[in-house]
A and B are shown apart, each in its own frame.
Chain A
Amino acid sequence: MVDVCIIGAGVVGGMIAERLSKYELSLTIVDKGGDVALGATRANSAIVHAGFDAKEGTLKARLNVRGSQMMEETCKRLGVKYKRNGSLVVGFSDEDRETLKELKARGEKNGVTGLELLDREQILKIEKNIGDSVTCALLAKTGAIVCPYELCMAAVGLAMDNGAALKLDFDVVKIEREGEGYRVISGTGESVLAKCVINAAGVHSDDIAALVGDESFTVHARRGEYMLLDKECGRLISHTVFRCPSKMGKGILVSPTVDGNLLLGPTAEDIDDKSDVKTTAEGIAKIRASAAEQVSGVDFGKVITSFTGLRSVGSTGDFIINSPTDNFVNVAGIESPGLTSAPAIAEYVEGMLYDMGITLSEKQSYISERRPTHYFSSLTNEEKNEIIKEHPEYARVICRCELVTEGEIREAIRTNPPPRDIDGVKRRTRATMGRCQGGFCTPSIVEILAEELGIDYEEVTKLGGKSYINIGKTKSGD
């Protein structure tokens, strides 16, 4: 029997696992996907929100502000890229100006520091490409950007380095009481017996809660489409530019990413299918129209990819973090600002476990830091050459657009949590993520993956399951 089973290897489950992994607790993380970070964590706005959006007094507001304060240190410890670039909520009318004033007041009540209302002249001083019709803005100096799946992978990875087990392709269909604990059972009959279960299953967290008889909430999926632009466009703006919120929600943002691209999106569309991540012509058109108003000079010819994420929206309007039954914790409805709140959610859940009487004694052997995933690319040429001397594969460029070497790809495949498919390698190394989108390097990465995993070339998949890259050999390849 393990002490804790966490269902869901997204950023919330990952951060909780990492937090708990410093204690003498045995942990198992299960996820229905073929990799970690495949739900809302894979595709969201990648923003550390300052904390002026959430209504004062809510758990969401509290964890947002706390998470925002914790994020920089957390990223540093986990070796994850973080940039405090500040955010601007831009308005186009007097009505918007009033809304921004309200936001500022709310933010201050929530404990957010560094909020400032700016007029157009002041905005232009810090952001010269702001849209022509923007008249006012709320500047939040504590706003930041981070890469959500990188944060999740680092958290799960460090938890694993500290002894946590990760079970992928583990689709929880049944949870049975067994003695003091629970038996968590997958669709294929595999099971994990745990004293305590933490439900961090994202859009599916209501289904998981229902397995222990808790039907007090529901979660639905809100589809958000995004467009990602070439790194050439990453310096168009330095702040994250939000649109003044309206009845239609927070709207579309234009933001640089920590990797230097420009990100546009998301749309917001509530849908029934919790796995529908298609992009639509309408969504793309909506993003274009809004982004062009917020920022001038967005070159839509430089879009390198578009994608869709599903945010999990709970039925209560607030984060749903509770214990409906003994030793079972729900961490559900973690919509925006869920990424920002994740470190604070982990801290909060740790407190809940403590209150439940679970012993939290620190491990002797606890590893508290993780080497940055992209450490190699940030070395000086001299330092790189030291490594290349011993390991020449670090000078063999596989992905030319993002300059990723064979050494980095092989190392990523051997690092917790290990990727098993092309998209997994992409999220860890950025190989195939550049302007050619894997056109040149995919065949080589398939080769490296096959070698490292000890499988045939044609068994390599794009994203697990039956997503085979190749369907067989050619006539002459037989």
Chain B
Amino acid sequence: MNVDLVIIGGGPAGMAAAVAARKSGLEDILILERDEALGGILRQCIHNGFGLHRFGEELTGPEYAYRYEKEVVDLGIPFLTGTTVVDIDKNRRVTAMSAERGIFTIDAKAIILAMGCRERPKGALNIAGTRPAGIYTAGTAQKFVNMKGYMPGKDVVILGSGDIGLIMARRMTLEGAKVHAVCELMPYSGGLARNIEQCLNDFNIPLKLSHTVVDIKGKDRVTGVVIAKVDENRRPIKETEELIPCDTLLLSCGLIPENELTKKAGITLDRVTGGAVVDGSRECDVEGIFACGNVLHVHDLVDYVSEEAEIAGRAAVKYIRGEKLRTNEIRVDVDGKVRYTVPKLISEAEDTKLYFRVGSVMRDVSVVVREGERVLLKKKKQKLAPAEMETVTLTKEMIESIDSGSISISVE
């Protein structure tokens, strides 16, 4: 099979990329989605708060997804659900499998990677103790509760203050469970401020910063967890250990972009984001392959995912038409306070939004973009926090004025 543009993943990123590509005039598009329906992880995010930036209203996850799904359908963009991509290579040959078609290959002129991310599992956290039932990532619990209609537990401790964990603290409470505490290893929350307010504070669920789980008890099912405060080097302080009887430990300790396919195509990954290194158009270092959404870097808001996916969708069409110009590449360096930027490379002279995250909470600071000593842009910020993605926009003029091949972004 030959297809101009194959989009891997039919979640918010994949759908927005497809819609943007079609609106740029590309006919031959195919979305491949492993789940039984379009929508990705939004399908299980039945809480509201999606779409404030995009649509100026608060939608639930399924509502947000449906807006894009409807566009995909209305525009007649073909998609295959129940279809898992098992391989891609640098020549843009995609191998996929589905019950209807078996194992089949597609040769694509361009590919957009939109596979999303996964949660960090317990194993990666090296928590001591037994391995009974009752330990789930927050997203797994969310699937049990929202998609299957079952309760994974009734007395809950949550480790990690990522957004899904916060959302599930509220969700489990509403379902009649008791959430005893949310423990966060870092001295600041991993989730959005609004989620701390609406999901924890409104329900009197304590957020224990600088705390971790040091032991899990129970043989068949979890019977309790031991939590402890950690010192400035994140080492548990023995004297502060406290046993919390519970039947469930939920983990919300970070999201990891799912880049197994990306690696198969030989694409270079950024060690900080875990996603591909891309230029402003979201093209990877393997030609004709683009990435967007949480597979590229983990976003806080789906609104930004859609925005980024549109960039990738439009750029892929330009690439297919042979119109994608790579002028001189500009590298964006970070200072450590800024952990990363996406994109990391700017290859076209057009207005470019740099998304970035910082490594710690900072107040009353300025974000400064420089070429050598020359200040290109300076933006004051009241507060920067690791959980909140930030942006600065470089104008076409600024980019055209850069001639050294690199700029730097710093917080001061």
**B-binding residues in A (CB < 8 A):** 227-228, 275, 277-281, 283-284, 301, 303-307, 381, 384-385, 388-389, 392-393, 395-397, 400-401, 403, 435-440, 442-443, 446-447, 457-458, 461-477
Contact = CB atoms under 8 A, between A and B. Distances in A.
B128 A443 contact: no
Given A305-B123, A400-B34, A443-B143, A278 B128 contact: yes
Interface stretch (B150-158, B197-205, B374-382, B399-407): B150-158
- Sorted from nearest, which 9 A-B pairs have the closest CB atoms? A477-B149, A305-B123, A392-B99, A437-B121, A462-B133, A467-B133, A470-B150, A397-B84, A467-B220
Given A277-B130, A468-B133, A438 B84 contact: no
Among A306, A389, A395, A476, find the residue whose CB has the most chain B CB atoms closer than 10 A.
A395
A466 B118 contact: no
B262 interface: no
A433 B109 CA distance: 35
Given A278-B129, A442-B140, A474 B145 contact: yes
Contacts of B86: 397, 403
Contacts of B245: none
21 contacts: A278-B128, A278-B130, A278-B216, A283-B128, A301-B124, A306-B123, A307-B131, A396-B99, A397-B84, A435-B121, A440-B118, A443-B143, A446-B148, A447-B148, A461-B133, A465-B220, A469-B133, A472-B151, A474-B151, A477-B150, A477-B151
B192 to A, nearest CB: 21
A203 B355 CA distance: 57
Contact of A393 (B99, B122, B151): B99
Interface in B116-140: 118-119, 121-124, 126, 128-133, 136-137, 139-140
Interface residues of B, number: 50
A437 B123 contact: yes
B150 A473 contact: yes
Q: Is the interface of B mostly helix, strand, loop or mixed?
A: mixed
A436 B120 CA distance: 7
Contacts of B260: 401
B163 interface: no
B151 A470 contact: yes
B397 to A, nearest CB: 42
Nearest to A436: B118
A217 to B, nearest CB: 27
Nearest to A476: B149
Contacts of B97: 384, 388, 395, 397
A469 B102 contact: no
Given A281-B126, A397-B86, A469-B152, 18 more contacts: A278-B128, A278-B129, A278-B215, A279-B129, A281-B128, A392-B100, A393-B99, A396-B98, A400-B34, A400-B84, A436-B118, A438-B121, A439-B139, A440-B139, A458-B150, A461-B220, A470-B151, A477-B149
Given A303-B124, A461-B133, A475-B176, A443 B140 contact: yes
B332 to A, nearest CB: 25
A279 B128 contact: yes
Nearest to A465: B220
A275 B8 CA distance: 46
